[in-house]
């Protein structure tokens, strides 16, 4: 009987407040993983599908459960058409925002935690969920410098602080449910230093995962 060592793909997600550096660091992280010989792909939610484009540009037009469900439709489509195929091919997928963000933004928009948990009960959990955090003031300043285009991008500190607290709460909530969640604080590090630290965490988590064996059909 043949027993084939099967290395499944690995899903790393990056969530956190706007301006924390997710987009910048997710590109750098993908490059660092590739340099280490790991086939890695970087992607984002909302995705670049027509549903994702509608959600990303439509936060002023769509509110409450309409936006929550639009983002969920994009997320399930993206999982099925982008994330799963990469994982099946054995790639490391670095996803800029994932389900953890839903626990923050959808709650700000009125959905309950139970509703969000039900909505995503069929979404593949991340193998490593990273939450990138920095002081709310710092995140707000960087997001403002880059440009504000979403209803969830803040110009007032109280809203940024609320978002910050919700990310920490959501990280604890997912962790309590059994997810592997890492909170990484940016501090004084520049983006390449943050990405290098994240690459260490990701490679360690990949090395520590159990190896699965698949039995081909007889």
Ligand X SMILES: Cc1cn([C@H]2C[C@H](O)[C@@H](COP(=O)(O)OP(=O)(O)O)O2)c(=O)[nH]c1=O
| CA–CA gap between residue 65 and residue 63 (Å, rounded) | 7
Does residue 27 interact with ligand X by CB under 6 A?
A: no
CB atoms within 10 A of CB 2: 7
Closest-CA residue to 95 (of 27, 151, 175, 170): 27
Residue 101 CB, shortest distance to ligand X, in Å, is 4
- Which residues, 6+ apart, have CB-to-CB distance to 204 below 8 Å? none
Closest CB to ligand ADP among residues 24, 45:
24
Residue 130 CB, shortest distance to ligand ADP, in Å, is 12
Window contacting ligand ADP (CB under 6 A); options: 66-74, 116-124, 140-148, 207-215: 140-148
Please pick, from the candidates 11, 12, 20, 100, the single residue that binds ligand ADP as defined by CB under 6 A: 20
Window contacting ligand ADP (CB under 6 A); options: 67-75, 116-124, 165-173, 185-193: 185-193
Q: Write out the residues near ligand X by the rule CB under 6 A.
A: 18, 22, 45-46, 55-56, 59, 67, 71, 97, 101-102, 105, 150, 152-153
């Amino acid at each position: 009987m043949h027993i084939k060592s099967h290395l499944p793909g690995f899903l790393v997600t990056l969530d956190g407040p706007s301006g924390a550096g997710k987009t910048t660091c997710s590109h750098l992280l993908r490059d660092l993983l590739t340099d280490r010989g790991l086939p890695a792909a970087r992607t984002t939610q909302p995705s670049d599908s027509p549903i994702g484009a509608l959600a990303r540009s439509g936060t002023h037009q769509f509110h409450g459960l309409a936006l929550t469900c639009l983002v969920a439709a994009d997320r399930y489509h993206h999982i099925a058409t982008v994330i799963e195929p990469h994982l099946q091919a054995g790639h490391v997928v670095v996803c800029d925002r994932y389900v953890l963000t839903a626990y923050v933004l959808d709650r700000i928009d009125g959905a309950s935690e139970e509703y969000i948990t039900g909505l995503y009960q069929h979404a593949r959990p991340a193998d490593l969920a990273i939450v990138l955090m920095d002081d709310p003031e710092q995140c707000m300043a960087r997001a403002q410098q880059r440009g504000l285009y979403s209803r969830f991008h803040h110009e007032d500190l109280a809203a940024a602080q609320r978002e910050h607290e919700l990310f920490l709460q959501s990280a604890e909530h997912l962790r309590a449910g059994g997810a592997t969640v890492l909170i990484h604080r940016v501090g004084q590090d520049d983006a390449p230093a943050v990405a290098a630290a994240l690459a260490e965490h990701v490679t360690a988590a990949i090395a520590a995962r159990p190896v699965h064996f698949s039995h081909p059909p007889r």
